[in-house]
Each structure stands twice: as structure tokens, then as C-alpha cells.
Structure 1
Amino acid sequence: MKITTWNINSVRLRMPLVAHLLKTKAPDVLCLQETKCRDAEFPMKDFAALGYKHAAINGQKGYHGVAVLSKKPLGLIEKRDFCEKGDARHISVEVEARGGPITLHNFYVPAGGDEPDVTINPKFAHKLSFLDEMTEWGQKGFAKGRVALVGDLNIAPLEHDVWSHKALLKVVSHTPVEVEKLANVFQAGKWIDAMRHFVPAEEKLYTWWSYRAADWAASNRGRRLDHILVSEALGGKLKKLDVLTEARGWERPSDHVPVTIELAE
């Protein structure tokens, strides 16, 4: 089973890019973040025409939004409102697989604004609270069984998940407090970092490059903000990783690139 996660930064604007991905890479399941549209406006017909007839969406007007599109039937759809702000930042589904159903959680963690100071930046406070709630959620056993957690978690936790560890220690997405809280999330669920299963922690690994860079490829100042985590029950099923870096250079791209994990079902 191939599962792809991608912060698309407006699904309607970038539907041609999504269609190209689905035609060329053909994942079984596609998880999107920042869809930026209400459920009624989601381009369901476009996905169905591409063979992705099963969908679970959690959207809102102009902001946030997550969706799961699948070739396979989906069940047990849940949308949790973390921090009770009414934001569309989570959806979970059950995907059919030969070895038994896989529960798949799709997250879009708050970015946190520009200042890593909760006293002056409520967006950063929200991000930290969201991570605390994810930890509490994980402690309740949501990672037991055949479970995967994917999405834009908006944190680059390791030294080589950013272009410069020293330069970014005081930059939102790589500050020590964020890294610590994401580590708590990982530990609470006993999650396995599927990407780092394939790429050693000593090697650079990015999924996001800023729009502000005049030449993103030449400067290569990236961060690994997108993640795929699997439960211990799926740890032995990991087969392959694909980070589609070239997608950052497509016409009118998202600032994130698709990440695909292949599991033995």
C-alpha cells in the first residue's frame, strides 16, 4: 500500500498538480493538508475521474482543511477538534488492507506564527497547546494496532531536518520547546518515524522550501515539516520512501512536496 501526504496549499488552485501526481505516482491513498475550501466546494468529481472515488474531507472556508482520497473503501471517519477552536486540522479513516484495516490519521498542526514567545504570540501558544493535546490523545492508546499518522506537523525536530540547526534554533518550527513537545507526541504513541527509518538522522532531509527564496533549489534552505509515523504493529511493514523534491519546481507549486511511504499490507 502506498500512502502519500502533501500540504497542497489550496486543492482547487493546484488540482492540475494533484492530477499529475496521481497519474504518475498512483498512490493508493492521498492525504492532503491546507485544502482551503469548504466540504461542498471540494473537487470530488475531479478525484473520482482519476480513480479516487472514496473520500473523507474536513474543510473550512479559506483556511486549513484536511482530506483523505482513496482507491480503496474508507470507514470509521472521525474529525477531532483539537483545542476546540473549530479548525479543520484532523481527520481519521480506516483503510482496507490485506493484512487487516489500517487506521490513518491526517493532521495539520498550527504553524505558530513568527515569534516563539507565548506571551506575545497567541498563535505560538495555540501550537504548543495543540501538541500537548496530541500527546494526551496518544496516551489514550490511539496508536495501538495497525495505525499511521501523517501530515504537516510544522516542526522539523532533528538537527539535519533543517538547513542550519544553529541558525534556526530561535525560528518557529525548530525551537527547543517545539522539538520537545513533538518528542512527547512521538513517545506517547510509541510512533516510528517512517522517513528516518530509510534516511539516517545524519543526512539532510527536507519537505518544505520557502516561497521567499529567489531560487529555492540553489539555496536549498529546506526543512522537514511533513511526517509519516507508523505504530509498532506496522514497523515491520515499511518497504520504501519517496520524497518528491522535484514537485517544488513545478509550475505554481506548493511550498511543500509530496511524501510517500510504501507498506507491505
Structure 2
Amino acid sequence: MKIASWNINSVRFRIGIVEQFLREQAPDILCLQETKVIDPDFPHAPFEALGYRHNFINGQRMHHGVAILSKVPLVEDDRLDWQANGEARHLGVRLPNGVRLENVYVPAGGDIPDRELNPKFGQKLDFIERMTRWSESLRGPAILTGDFNIAPLECDVWNHKALLDVVSHTPVEVAALGGLQAAHGWVDLGRSFIAAPERYYTWWSYRAKDWEASDRGRRLDHMWASPEVARAATAHRVHEPCRSWIKPSDHVPIVTEFDF
């Protein structure tokens, strides 16, 4: 089974590259973040035409929204409000084999890494804290994937020292993400296959005139699994060429293959 995750930055605007990715890579399940569409307006037809007929949507206007599109039957499990303000940032389903699949879009956190000066940063840390408490009580096999908006390792960013005070790589965020990982014993599947200190990025800013030449990337997108599920993982890939496709997202898809 191949499971993909991609912050698409508007599924309707970028439906062309989504279709291209699905035709080329054919994952069994695609988890999308930042869909930017309310449920009634979600473009179901292109997905169904490609065989993705088991779909769950948690949509919202603005910069939120998540979706899970699948070729295999799924059962919706939950929609948790870790932001505590009604934003559509989580969608959980259960696979036919009983494994839970949790798709999450963690808030970016604004520009200033100080919860007093920037309430959005505090909301981000609180979001991760709620996820941590949830992880502590989680039982059974599970996969947690999505845009975490944190690059934890020095080799997850283009310049560790330059980004220490930049939201997404600050020590307080990295510590919070480490606490979340420890709460359930989550295995970082990306770094299981692309071992540190190897370069591993999933996001490049639109501000760069030539994203590939400057390569100022960060690893903001992750796929984690509980230990028993991690043992079934057989491959993990980052699809960087998608960043150069027509009307690209600033994120690229990650795909993990499982032997189940």
C-alpha cells in the first residue's frame, strides 16, 4: 500500500498537478492539506475518474482544509479540533486492516517566535500540546502524516544557524515536536529511509526566483507511524520534481510504501 501526503495549497487551483501526480505515482491513498475549499465545492469528479472513490473531506474557506482520497474502502474515525477554534485541520480514518490514518495540518505560527508578541505562535504550540496529550492516550496501530510546519533537525533546513530564530525551526518548536513524537513512540518514517545528515526538504518558498538553484528548503511535511506499523514500511520517497510543475504548490508530496 502506498500512502501519500501533500500540502496542495488549493486543490481546485492545482487540480491539474494533482491529477498528474496520481497518474504517475498511483498511491492507494492521498492525504491533502490546505485544500482551501468548503465541502460542497470540493472537486470530486477528477479523483473518482482516477479510481479514488472513497473520499473524506473536512473543508473550510481561507487557508485550511484537509482531505483523504482513497482507492480502498475507509471508515471515518474522527475530526479533532486541536486548534480549539473550529478550524478544519484534522481528519482521521481507519484502513481496512484496522490501522488508523491521521491527516493533520499544523498552523504555520506567524512570523515572530514569541507567544506574547504573536498569538499565532502560541496557538501553534498549544495545537501541538493537544496533539501530544492525544498521542499519550492513543492505542493501536496508527499513521500520523501531514504538514507539521516544523523542520526539527539541522539537516532538515538549508541553514540551521540562519533559521534558529525563524518560525518552523526554533528550539521551542523543535522541543514541542520531540515531545509529541515521544508521547506515542512515533517513528519518523522519512528519516528511517533518508537518514540524517542527508539533505531532506519538502518545501521551498515562492519568493525564490529559482527554487532549485537556491535550494533554500525545509522539511515541513512528515509521515510518522506507531512502531508496529513502522516495521511494515518498505520505502519512502520525496517527489521534488513536482515543485517545478505548472502552477506548483510550495510543498511537494511524500510517499511511504507499506507491506500490508
**What TM-score comes out, normalization by structure 2 length?**
0.98
1:138 aligns with 2:135: yes
Question: Alpha-carbon deviations, 1:190-245, whole Å to 9, x = none?
Answer: 10000000011111100000000111000000000000001011121110111000
Correspondence for 1:156 = 151
Tell me the SS of whatever aligns to 1:60.
coil
Percent identical pairs in the alignment equals 53
Within 5 A, what are the aligned runs for 1:186-201? 186-201=181-196
Which of 120, 125, 129 is the matching residue for 1:123? 120
C-alpha contact 1:198 1:240 (8 A) present in aligned 2: yes
In 2: Cα distance, 1:146 partner to 1:24 partner: 29
Q: Is the 8 A contact 2:91 2:102 kept in 1?
A: yes
Q: Kindly provide the CA deviation profile for residues 12-33 of structure 1, in whole angstroms up to 9, marking residues without a partner as x.
A: 0000110001111000000000
Task: Give the 3-state SS of the residue equivalent to 1:117 in structure 2.
Answer: coil
Q: Deviations over 1:104-142 (max 9, x none)?
A: 0000000001000111101101001001111111111x2
> Which residue in the other structure is 2:241 paired with?
246
Unaligned runs of 5+ in 1: none
The one-letter code of the counterpart of 2:158 is W
Number of matched pairs: 260
Over the aligned positions, Cα root-mean-square deviation in angstroms equals 0.8
The answer to whether the aligner puts 1:106 opposite 2:99 as a matched pair is no
CA deviations on 1:144-196 (whole Å, 9 max, x unpaired) are 32210000000000010000110000000000000000000000011000000
1:67 and 2:67 aligned: yes
Distance 2:182 2:69 in 1: 28
TM-score, length-normalised on structure 1?
0.97
Q: Identify the residue that residue 218 of structure 2 maps to in structure 1.
A: 223
Paired residue for 2:29?
29
> Which segments of 5 or more consecutive residues in structure 2 lack a partner in the other structure?
none
Give structure 1 regions of 4+ aligned residues with deviation exceeding 2 angstroms. none
| Match status 1:88 vs 2:88 | yes
* 1:77 Cα offset (Å): 3.0
1:44-81, Cα deviation, whole Å (9 max, x unpaired): 12211110000111011132100000000110331111
Amino acid at match of 1:60: Q
For 2:79, the equivalent position in structure 1 comes to 79
C-alpha deviation, 1:262, in angstroms: 0.2
